[in-house]
Amino acid sequence: MKNISLNISGMTCQGCAKTVVRVLEAVNGVQSAAVDLAAERADIVFDEAQTNVSVLVNAVEDAGFDASA
């Protein structure tokens, strides 16, 4: 398992934070995702054999937020 943090922008409330958690946890290979709204950060634990950082960034961007590693 690999641990990464993404910078997320565009979140304005806890609803946004929950959406980001949901889309990240829906990605195959993601074990867990935690979002800190104030810090604009997502901490993600994932299986490198099943997914990668660019898939995670795309999942967040598809949900309408900006993400960068």
The residues binding Cu ion (CB under 5 A) are 12-13, 15-16
Nearer to Cu ion, 15 or 48 (CB): 15
Least distance in angstroms from the C-beta of 15 to Cu ion: 4
Least distance in angstroms from the C-beta of 51 to Cu ion: 25
Q: Where are the beta strands (DSSP E) in the chain?
A: 2-9, 30-36, 41-46, 66-68
Least distance in angstroms from the C-beta of 37 to Cu ion: 9
Contact by Cβ (8 Å): 69, 58: no
DSSP state of 24: H
